Amino acid sequence: MPEQTSRPLIADRRVVTDEWVLCEDATQRPEGQPALLPLADWQASSKGDDVAPWLPSDTEMTDALARELDAAPLVAIDFPKFTDGRGYSIARLLRERHGYQGQIRAIGDVLIDQLFYMSRCGFDAFSLREDQIVEDALNALSTFSRSYQPGTDDPEPLFRRRLREAHKGEVA
């Protein structure tokens, strides 16, 4: 369970105020405030616009779960340790295989070094660990100007982009 603190939140490449409260279970939900609930508690809730699930890193992303998550205003994915990369796969599956359009938020042990790669996997919001510097985090989102591999932000690999650009000027 990620620790609830006053962590900086970056969404859509800018610092924003976090309206959502991270709850360990549904009984801790504050009255009148949007809440991030553990997946099982969210599934048992009324699933309105003021509740959203947070997924542990060992969540199996099935078709049925993805259909259920489609109704969520956002999905938070927990990184219990920065070395646990399973959240990247969950985000990528949600975006690419299941077409999730809402916010995907990284929570837990989220470090600046991960942000660029998280964004390529489909994350568009990051609840930074408290010791991370927000200005450096914003810069980290633009660490590289080009990527070799396809990602959720650009599904075409670099070699195909270069090949297409090389053939632009050719006459058929």
- In tens, the pLDDT along 11-70 reads 999 999 999 999 998 888 888 899 999 999 999 988 888 999 999 999 999 999 999 999
CA distance 57 to 74: 16
Rounded mean pLDDT of the chain?
88
Topology annotation, domain 9-145:
Rossmann fold (3.40.50)
**Is residue 57 within 8 Å of 87, Cβ to Cβ?**
yes
Question: Taking the model in full, what pTM does it have?
Answer: 0.83
Q: Going by C-beta distance under 8 Å and a sequence separation of 6 or more, which residues neighbour residue 123?
A: 77, 91, 104, 105, 106
pLDDT in tens, 83-108: 999 999 999 999 999 999 999 999 99
